[in-house]
Structure 1
């Protein structure tokens, strides 16, 4: 498999290096333990002759030539983790040049993968329009605003869609690399993941901080504050809208536009976050915690935690040991 890593100035250092390490280990195991030819031919390519990482380290890049025909192009994240840094970065000349190369490679039949903030660069090409995608969870509101034609689900860690795949935040680079290794050899992917103490995670949901998402919109922030004060009560959309001096329709529309979910779903997220905090940080039993977050019994809460976080009460408490 010929893989081209597209390196731009200001890359997230860990994103680049963890991908290189994962494929390097896979090649080594394939040769030494399985007697195979190393299956991954990885090159780092750049639209500029000199490229530096986000920490200022020089990245050795190859020039992009007409005969470069990768099977996969990987787009690591830029080290621009807030909207005020990312929006100007996306307007840079080298990013525009990178978009043109991505479109050309895609037209030639290449598959394209992007992780974390790299999914913004891929979305800038228009190739993700009317496709499913994920991205770094805390920038999901900005992603929805910029790319309304993309079906975004930031709760997922990996989203294949056609000849493209996107991965979630930060260490999603490793999940993406393991996913690509597994496409070639599940056995090899298992060996690499065990060596790195890492498994492909299916969800970002356990890592999402609802309050961070609410910061993207004044109305949603006010709704978030109101909701935290009413977790014990049953949710009423009209009551919430009245308290915020808006209409139920406006609140519904803003939640969908900013968060990609209904006000009720976001209210449930806040309940789960609070319940998780109490499970891990208080001496309350599950029945008492259920009462604190507005559920009739502990069994209902136990099921919800498992559905939303993929972990049970014992596992959540064990995380603190």
Structure 2
């Protein structure tokens, strides 16, 4: 199976290394176990003769034309961590050239995959238009605003849509690689995951910190500050809009456009986030914490923790910080 890792300047070192290591270990395990799975032939490919990672390492890449048609092309993330630095990176010429290559290979039937910030490269290449996708949870607002033709679900760790696979934040490179191995041989993927001590993760939701969502909108910033100061109070859209300096309709429209949520839904997310933080940083009871974040009883809080974070209050309390 021919796999190209299309690597660009500023690549996220851990993501690139994770992809290489998962496929290498899968090959070794398949051989030692005598499995008939096709081996993964991985080539580091670039659109420039030399690629330097985000940490300054020089990556030996292959360039040029006439390469065999790949079965898969995977784009490791860029090392940009903030919306503004990512937007600058997306304007680079090598990113545009990578997009043309990806469209070409996709047209030839290759599976295209990306994790974390590299999902933006796929979106820039218009490969995600009309499809479902995921991305780094903290960049979801920017993604949703910039690529309105993509159906984004940032709560998911992996989304496969047609011949495109997208994965969530940073270490989702491991989840992505294991998923691609699983497409060839579920037994080999399970064995490889055991060697990496990597449990399957379906959702990014337990890791989301709402105030780290990059939305670059002063109206939403003001709304968030108001919401955090009124978690124990009943929600009022009128008061929220007044504090944000916008009409109720404008606040709802901007929040829906940036985060895919209503003001009330985002307010509830902040309550759950605050409750989760209190559970693993204080000794307060679930009942006390429920009251602190505006719920009249602990049962409601427990239900929301399960629904939004897929974890119980006891599991959250056991997390060490």
- TM-score band w.r.t. shorter chain: over 0.9
Tell me, yes or no, if structure 1 residue 226 matches structure 2 residue 226. Answer: yes
Which position in structure 1 is the counterpart of 2:196? 196
For residues 5 and 123 of structure 2, what CA distance do their matches in structure 1 show? 17
Gaps of 5+ in 2: none
Other-structure match for 2:23: 23
Question: Is it true that 1:205 corresponds to 2:205 in the alignment?
Answer: yes
> 1:88 Cα shift?
2.0
User: Per the alignment, in what secondary structure is the counterpart of residue 156 of structure 1?
Assistant: coil
Residue 128 of structure 1 corresponds to 128
Residue 262 (structure 1) aligns with: 262
**CA offsets 1:38-93 (integer angstroms, 9 cap, x no match):** 52111111111111111121111122423421111101111112122222211112
The reply on whether 1:307 has 2:281 as its aligned counterpart is: no
Aligned partner of 2:62 in structure 1 is 62
Match of 2:298 in 1: 298
- Aligned pairs, how many? 321
Per-residue CA distance 1:136-172 (angstroms, 9 max, x = gap): 1112222122211111121111111111010011001
Q: CA RMSD in A?
A: 1.5
Q: Which stretch of the first structure deviates more once superposed, 82-91 or 174-183?
A: 82-91
Inter-partner Cα distance in structure 1 for 2:266 and 2:226: 12
Match of 1:6 in 2: 6
Instruction: Answer with 65-74 or 20-29: which moved more.
Output: 65-74
CA-CA distance at 1:224 after TM superposition: 0.8
Aligned to 2:153: 153
Alignment map for 1:268-283 (pairs within 5 Å): 268-283=268-283
Q: CA deviation at 1:37?
A: 5.6
State the alpha-carbon separation in 2 of the partners of residues 280 and 315 from structure 1.
Answer: 9
Q: Are 1:94 and 2:73 counterparts?
A: no
Partners of 1:200 and 1:6 in 2: how far apart?
25
2:79 corresponding residue in structure 1: 79
Q: Relative to 1, partners in 2 of residues 1:261 and 1:61: Cα closer, same or farther, differing over 3 Å?
A: same
Q: 1:214 to 1:26 in 2, by over 3 A?
A: closer
Q: Which position in structure 2 is the counterpart of 1:42?
A: 42
SS of structure 2 residue aligned to 1:221? helix
Equivalents in 1 of 2:54, 2:68: separation in Å? 26
- Residue 215 of structure 1 and its aligned partner are, at CA, apart by 5.5
CA distance in 1, matches of 2:237, 2:214: 17
Quick one: distance in 1 between partners of 2:156 and 2:301?
Answer: 22
Mapped to 2, the partners of 1:116 and 1:230 lie a distance apart of: 33
- Contact kept, 8 Å, 2:140 with 2:214, in 1: the verdict is no
Q: Distance between the aligned counterparts of 1:69 and 1:238, measured in 2?
A: 57
Write the distance in 2 (CA, Å) between the matches of 1:86 and 1:214.
11
Residue 186 of structure 1: aligned partner: 186
SS in 1 for 2:74: strand
In the alignment, is the contact (CA less than 8 A) between 2:77 and 2:116 conserved in 1? yes
- How far the C-alpha of 1:35 sits from its partner, in A, is 4.2
The 8 Å contact of residues 8 and 47 in structure 1, kept in 2 or not, is answered as yes
Structure 2 Cα separation of the partners of residues 97 and 304 of structure 1: 45
Cα deviation digits, residues 166-208 of structure 1 (max 9, x gap): 0011001111001111111111111111111112311111111
Moved more, 185-194 or 230-239: 230-239
Q: 1:165 to 1:35 in 2, by over 3 A?
A: closer
* SS of match in other structure, 2:213: helix
> Do the aligned residues in 1 keep the contact of 2:139 with 2:214 (CA within 8 Å)?
no
SS of 2:73's equivalent?
A: strand
Shift of 1:214: 6.1
1:63 is paired with a residue whose SS is: coil
Contact 2:44 2:60 in 1 (8 A): yes
Q: Secondary structure at the match of 1:62?
A: coil
TM-score, normalisation: structure 2: 0.96
Distance 1:37 1:109, change over 3 A: closer
